[in-house]
Amino acid sequence: MTLPVLYSLRNCPFAMRARLAIYKSKQPIELRDVVLNNKPQQMLTASPKGTVPILVLASEQVIDESLEVMLWALNESDPDDLLHSGCAEILTLIEQFDEPFKTCLEQYKCAKRYHESNLTECRQACEVYIKDLEQRLTEHAYIIDEKESLADIALLPFIRQFAKIERQWYLQSPYPNVKRWLNRYLQSPMFTKVMAKYPLWSEHSEMIVFTGKR
d(CA 22, CA 72): 9
| Pairing state between β 62-63 and 29-33 | unpaired
Q: What is the arithmetic mean of pLDDT over 145-149?
A: 97
d(CA 151, CA 131): 16
Distances (CA, A) of 18 to 53, 154, 197: 7, 8, 16
Label residue 85 by pLDDT band (50, 70, 90): confident
Instruction: Give the number of residues written for the chain.
Output: 214
Locate the domains of the chain by residue range.
Answer: 5-81+192-210, 88-188
Q: What is the arithmetic mean of pLDDT over 69-88?
A: 95
Domain 5-81+192-210's class? alpha beta
d(CA 78, CA 67): 15
> Residue 71: how many CA atoms within 13 Å on its side-chain side?
13
Q: Which CATH architecture has domain 88-188?
A: Up-down Bundle (1.20)
d(CA 129, CA 162): 11
Please answer whether residues 104 and 122 qualify as being in contact, where contact means their C-beta atoms are separated by less than 8 angstroms.
yes
23 burial type by CB count under 10 A (0-12 exposed, 13-18 middle, 19+ buried): buried
Residue 214 scores a pLDDT above 70: no
Q: What is the arithmetic mean of pLDDT over 142-155?
A: 98
pLDDT at residue 148, rounded to an integer: 98
Which SS3 state, helix, strand or coil, does residue 150 take? helix
Comparing CA positions, the residue from 83, 57, 81, 54 lying closest to residue 66 is 54
What mean pLDDT value characterizes the chain? 96
Measured between its terminal Cα atoms, the distance across the chain in Å is 18
